[in-house]
Structure 1
Amino acid sequence: MNTSRRLATLALASLAATIALLPLGAQAQTTKIKMVLNWKYEGPQAWFFLAQDKGYFKAEGLDVEIDQGEGSAASIPKVASGAYQAGFGDLNAVIDLATKRPAEAPVGVYMLYNTPPFTIVVKQDSPIKGPADLEGKTVGGPANDGALKLFPAFAKLAKLDATKVKITNMAPNLREQMLARDQVDATFGYVTTVSFSAKAMGMDPAKDLRFIRYGAHGMDLYSNAVFFSRPFVKDNPQAVAGFVKALNRAIADVIANPDAGIDAVMKREPLLKREVEKERLLATLRNDMSHPEVARIGLGDVDDKRLARGIEILVDANQLARTPASAEVFDRSFLPPREQRPAKLF
């Protein structure tokens, strides 16, 4: 071996030894992300946990911590405040904040609930047959419920005088009980959430309840999406893209094998009833995530015209000061290519 080659070999060996002695974080930088969910651990969050367990986040250089939430609207201010970098919750609450404090509003990066789940629920024998019948009645819901937050917009579209409806708040776990006991005339909620809570009480939602769905009255709105704080998106675009890539990969896994997703959920909360959570997951895929547009644009994306209409509905109904552009509340630039995202969930 000549002198120059010997020196090069020694230099490489020295560099390798130096790298081996460096702390792990100096060899490969890991970005920490704290994420807050929409609600307590449940079946329809399976993909987040599976992405953790299968190392998909880790493969993208991410250390993701996932906390339980307190409602689909409650996660937005937690991300806006900087307490969390990422969240899963109602995009309409993001829009509302973007109209008032655009610099603080998070930005959506992956749409999951593309079919409006918002509803007002009544008992099957209730005299309330349509929106107008709510006047003079009491409607209850948790303070951070997405359907309650959207009620002013719903009332305007449905030609209902919202000032004649009494709104009362209750803890989420009391919603179906208070309805069953006639302590309220109706409740706000998400169709799937209320249905499974009613089942847990021994009710048959198909026979015992009726659902006045917002989507049937002109509110074809998007709902829960993954979003990030605006400063984090600006400073860590590669981390956001990596998170979305890992999540998309895990969603495809859950669609192909729901039981694997439920395994991941049960690891977080062993006291859950496995079969109930699997049924809840499948119902969410079927009812909340399978808008016809998915076949055209793929899961995760939004239709710009549809999103713009939704923004206009909220701004007009709530008399908000400004109309944010679609790009202010949803950024598709982090999405994997169309062919890599699910186009059919069943």
Structure 2
Amino acid sequence: MKFPLPHALLSACGLALALALAALPAAAQVPIKVVLNWKYEGPQAWFFLAQDKGYFKDEGLDVTIDQGEGSAASIPKVAAGAYQAGFGDINALVDLASRRPADAPVGVYMLYNTPPFALVVKSDSPIRTPKDLEGKTVGGPANDGALKLFPAFARIAGIDAAKVGITNMAPNLREQMLSRGQIDAGFGYVTTVSFSAKGMGLDPAKDLRFIRYGDYGMDLYANTVFFSKRFVKENPKAVAGFVKALNRAVKEVIANPDAGVDHAIQREPLLKREVEKDKLLATLKNDMSHPEIARIGLGDVDDARLKKDIAIVVEANALPRTPEPGEIFDRSFLPVRADRPSATTTH
């Protein structure tokens, strides 16, 4: 014969169970430290939005985001173990993968699929073609992606690199030195240089000219999100979750750039909203709009194009080995094609 438990006893059992569950530790979030390509700015809005709106947290991740020092500088920081993930130039990653394959990170989400690398000169400069750089002085920050790729550009464009003087400076001095005639040309990304020049009161369209690497056969990929090989091996679910959260944020920023800029401004209140919005829109248009994304979607790469990219970097820099595309980029963590953008502008 069964006897019903007294109400008080049921209540006590329920309370004990609730207290026991409350005492259990919360599911541990996987920590991921990310180093960016540059100082906090509008074109990084998706990283900040994903963090602020809890998209990383939704995937069980505890993400911290640090400023960077150049698109090539983030790769060795991840390779050394100081960070688990980064955002930077895939061509610098190819270089490291050739020299030290065990240490090189691997790309998982391609953002800058259109080559932004360029040389900038004043509009009245006698430098009209790459060959005109011979006998001139060209300057750029030591970790600038265009500077790192100059040996490849020189070989492809028929420049005798030994006849070109190279000098380094702090990033904020590049446009000043060019304007004052202290250098004849500068290395940089088109969007970055344009907005730095605007900050000095110059009109890039009238006062500057760009010699773009992409116009001379270097249809290279640029900045990708990447992870250390060790982290990929040990935490594949976390990598997939990070990419899913970031892709979600990228779609939101494309649809509403103003909201994206809000999150960048929160990181650095001294940033000027309209400038950062213009930089974000220019990045979407100039650096993330390769025609291939209509076919393969943002975030992915075309294997044939990546293979050509790798070959250019290896040959031009006389690297010891040619990495396979699969060593450089792993698409297995990408959301399905239907969930990734087919275009980066809304109009």
Give 2:287's aligned amino acid.
D
Give 2:21's aligned amino acid.
I
Give 2:143's aligned amino acid.
N
1:18 equivalent in structure 2: 20
2:149 equivalent in structure 1: 150
Matched, 1:128 2:127: yes
How far apart in 1 are the matches of 2:229 and 2:4? 52
CA shift digits 1:167-224 (9 cap, x unpaired): 0000000000000000000000000000000000000001100000000001000000
CA gap 1:192/1:20 in 2 versus in 1, 3 angstroms: same
How far apart in 1 are the matches of 2:262 and 2:2? 59
1:336 equivalent in structure 2: 335
1:177 equivalent in structure 2: 176
Deviation at 1:22, TM superposition (A): 1.9
1:291 equivalent in structure 2: 290
How far apart in 2 are the matches of 1:278 and 1:169? 29
CA gap 1:239/1:8 in 2 versus in 1, 3 angstroms: farther
Q: How do 1:20-99 and structure 2 match up within 5 A?
A: 20-24=22-26, 28-99=27-98
Report the secondary structure of 2:40's partner residue: coil
1:225 equivalent in structure 2: 224
Matched, 1:196 2:195: yes
Deviation at 1:15, TM superposition (A): 5.3
How far apart in 1 are the matches of 2:176 and 2:12? 75
Q: How many residues get paired?
A: 343
Give 1:53's aligned amino acid.
D
How far apart in 2 are the matches of 1:5 and 1:103? 64
CA shift digits 1:220-257 (9 cap, x unpaired): 00000000011000000000000000000000000111
1:205 equivalent in structure 2: 204
Q: How do 1:151-166 and structure 2 match up within 5 A?
A: 151-166=150-165
What is the TM-score normalised by the length of structure 1? 0.96
Report the secondary structure of 2:82's partner residue: coil
Aligned structure 1 segments of 4 or more residues deviating by more than 3 angstroms: 1-17
How far apart in 2 are the matches of 1:3 and 1:106? 65
What is the TM-score normalised by the length of structure 2? 0.96
How far apart in 1 are the matches of 2:117 and 2:284? 15
Deviation at 1:266, TM superposition (A): 0.5
1:141 equivalent in structure 2: 140
Give 2:196's aligned amino acid.
S
Q: Structure 2: which 5+ residue stretches go unaligned?
A: none
CA gap 1:3/1:181 in 2 versus in 1, 3 angstroms: farther
Deviation at 1:17, TM superposition (A): 3.5
2:254 equivalent in structure 1: 255
Deviation at 1:331, TM superposition (A): 0.3
Deviation at 1:120, TM superposition (A): 0.4
Matched, 1:280 2:290: no
Give 1:50's aligned amino acid.
L
Deviation at 1:3, TM superposition (A): 7.6
CA gap 1:9/1:207 in 2 versus in 1, 3 angstroms: same
Deviation at 1:19, TM superposition (A): 2.3
How far apart in 2 are the matches of 1:5 and 1:136? 95
CA gap 1:12/1:270 in 2 versus in 1, 3 angstroms: same
Deviation at 1:23, TM superposition (A): 2.8
Report the secondary structure of 1:143's partner residue: coil
CA gap 1:326/1:2 in 2 versus in 1, 3 angstroms: farther
How far apart in 2 are the matches of 1:14 and 1:323? 63
